[in-house]
């Protein structure tokens, strides 16, 4: 393997990569492995220590960027949410914002609030799914079932709004596709309140569990400087003590009218990285309540587009805070109905770079804890 520019972490004594060829064992963890997701990590271990880790994504690469070049701005919508169907509103958000910039239309106020609410609901849905897998990766089967079950509350809510359980295809340039159903505010408030009560119960059994703490604290520590240099984003960055949340720093839609609190932890270990999304969920419940309060009770939810919208000869780069960190969308338009080039710069792909760095020198038993604490979604990274 190659040299790292970043000085590698101190290996335990007696571990040098060069001289132990006959002692190291190469493990192909994935792509079909209960602890890898749809990705392969080529791990070299010496005893119980990982001496080298090489992530090999691409198992579920679908060429979404290439596909987007031959579809117009509207028919791209169901495709571009495919990388993260659990977070489909948030992955569509930068694209929709970018197309609105290109085409130059205004979004009605009520649609902006509906977007924020659905995006926050979707963030919770994604994080619950992520948390469920984090639980099962650590061998905590209850933490697999509880989030997967409680997620159903919000999926139910999203189904009432958008008509689909996961692949909503709800955002559209110019607003959202349909209005929320009648007495939506009450139902939403009731379910979100119960959801918040439920996720607070995770603390006793999971986050304050001494075995979990002993297991994940001080493993895979990413310092603040390294987190910045590696360009990580989202929960990984905030767990390392960097106060950076695009919802606060570069508010889009109506986030500047809402009181959004950024959760930051200083430790930078697996435990902090796994706790930040949970705190984010609590914050999301807060945001949803605020947005429900401030949302205009009636009004238009969609500015009609022309049938075949064209962008100018322009480019745009918009970014939002998705469940996994910043999701950026770079659209280059050439006055055609289709984008000339569309690039998704997603949180998973940006956080993946920290994986080989973090795994080096860890124990094999820590691999799932470190890997999944990166808030990584293999399908999104592959696009």
- Using CB under 8 A as the binding rule, the residues of this chain from 87 to 116 that contact another protein are none
| Least CB distance to another protein at residue 242 (A) | 5
262 binds another protein (CB under 8 A): no
**Strand blocks (E) in 222-324:** 315-322
Nearer to another protein, 126 or 244 (CB): 244
Give the residue, chosen from 70, 106, 186, 256, that forms a contact with another protein under the rule CB under 8 A. Answer: 70
Residues whose CB falls within 8 Å of the CB of residue 65, separated by 6 or more in sequence, listed in order? 341, 342, 343, 344, 383
145 binds another protein (CB under 8 A): yes
Please report which helix (H) or strand (E) contains residue 176, including its range.
strand 175-176
C-alpha 12 chain-centroid distance: 33
295 binds another protein (CB under 8 A): no
264 binds another protein (CB under 8 A): no
| Least CB distance to another protein at residue 152 (A) | 7
Give the residue, chosen from 8, 16, 23, 63, that forms a contact with another protein under the rule CB under 8 A. Answer: 63
| Least CB distance to another protein at residue 314 (A) | 9
Q: Are 144 and 274 in contact (CB under 8 A)?
A: no
315 binds another protein (CB under 8 A): yes
Binding mask 273-292 for another protein (x = CB under 8 A): --------------------
Q: Which of residues 165-224 bind another protein (CB under 8 A)?
A: 167, 169, 177-181, 190-191, 194, 201, 204-206, 208-215
C-alpha 359 chain-centroid distance: 21
Give the residue, chosen from 23, 75, 104, 259, that forms a contact with another protein under the rule CB under 8 A. Answer: 75
Q: Phi and psi for 331 in degrees, rounded to 5?
A: -110, 125
- Closest by CA to 291, choosing from 88, 112, 93, is 112
Q: Map residue 55 onto helix, strand or coil.
A: strand
**Rounded Cα–Cα distance for residues 269 and 93 (Å):** 30
Window of 104-112, 119-127, 231-239, 264-272 that interacts with another protein by CB under 8 A: 231-239
Q: Are 50 and 364 in contact (CB under 8 A)?
A: yes
Give the residue, chosen from 146, 171, 376, 377, that forms a contact with another protein under the rule CB under 8 A. Answer: 146
Q: Phi and psi for 244 in degrees, rounded to 5?
A: -145, 110
258 binds another protein (CB under 8 A): no
Residues whose CB falls within 8 Å of the CB of residue 12, separated by 6 or more in sequence, listed in order? 49, 361
**Rounded Cα–Cα distance for residues 66 and 267 (Å):** 40
Nearer to another protein, 6 or 8 (CB): 6
Q: Which of residues 334-373 bind another protein (CB under 8 A)?
A: 334, 336-338, 340-341, 343, 345, 349-350, 352-353, 363-368
**Rounded Cα–Cα distance for residues 7 and 279 (Å):** 32
Please report which helix (H) or strand (E) contains residue 44, including its range.
strand 40-46
Binding mask 20-39 for another protein (x = CB under 8 A): -----x-x-----xxx----
Residues in binding contact with another protein, number by CB under 8 A = 116
Give the residue, chosen from 153, 254, 320, 370, that forms a contact with another protein under the rule CB under 8 A. Answer: 153
């Amino acid at each position: 393997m190659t040299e790292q520019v970043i000085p590698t972490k101190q290996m335990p004594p007696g571990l040098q990569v060069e001289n132990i060829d006959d002692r190291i064992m190469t493990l192909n963890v994935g792509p079909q492995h209960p602890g890898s997701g749809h990705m392969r990590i080529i791990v070299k271990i010496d005893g119980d220590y990982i001496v080298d880790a090489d992530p090999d994504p691409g198992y579920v690469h679908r060429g979404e960027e290439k596909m987007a070049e031959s579809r117009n701005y509207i028919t791209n919508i169901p495709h571009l949410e495919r990388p993260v169907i659990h977070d489909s509103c948030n992955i569509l958000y930068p694209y929709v914002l970018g197309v609105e910039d290109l085409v130059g239309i205004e979004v009605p106020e009520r649609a902006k609030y509906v977007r924020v609410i659905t995006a926050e609901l979707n963030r919770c849905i994604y994080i619950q799914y992520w948390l469920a897998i984090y639980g099962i990766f650590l061998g905590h089967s209850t933490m697999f079932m509880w989030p997967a079950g409680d997620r159903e509350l919000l999926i139910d809510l999203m189904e009432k709004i958008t008509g689909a359980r996961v692949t909503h295809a709800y955002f559209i340039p110019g607003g959202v596709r349909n209005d929320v159903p009648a007495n939506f505010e009450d139902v939403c408030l009731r379910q979100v309140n119960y959801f918040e009560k439920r996720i607070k119960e995770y603390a006793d059994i999971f986050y304050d569990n001494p075995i979990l703490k002993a297991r994940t604290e001080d493993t895979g520590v990413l310092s603040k400087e390294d987190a910045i240099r590696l360009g990580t984003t989202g929960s990984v960055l905030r767990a390392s003590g960097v106060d950076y949340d695009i919802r606060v720093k570069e508010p889009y839609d109506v986030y500047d009218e809402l009181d959004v609190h950024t959760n930051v932890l200083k430790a930078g270990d697996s435990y902090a990285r796994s706790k930040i999304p949970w705190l984010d969920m609590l914050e999301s419940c807060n945001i949803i309540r605020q947005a429900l309060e401030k949302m205009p009770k009636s009004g238009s939810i969609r500015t009609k587009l022309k049938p075949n919208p064209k962008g100018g000869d322009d480019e745009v780069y918009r970014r939002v805070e998705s469940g996994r960190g910043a999701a950026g969308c770079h659209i280059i338009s050439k006055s055609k109905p289709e984008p000339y080039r569309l690039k998704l710069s997603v949180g998973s792909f940006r956080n993946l770079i920290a994986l080989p760095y973090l795994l080096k020198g860890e124990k094999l038993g820590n691999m799932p804890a470190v890997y999944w604490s990166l808030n990584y979604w293999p399908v999104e990274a592959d696009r």
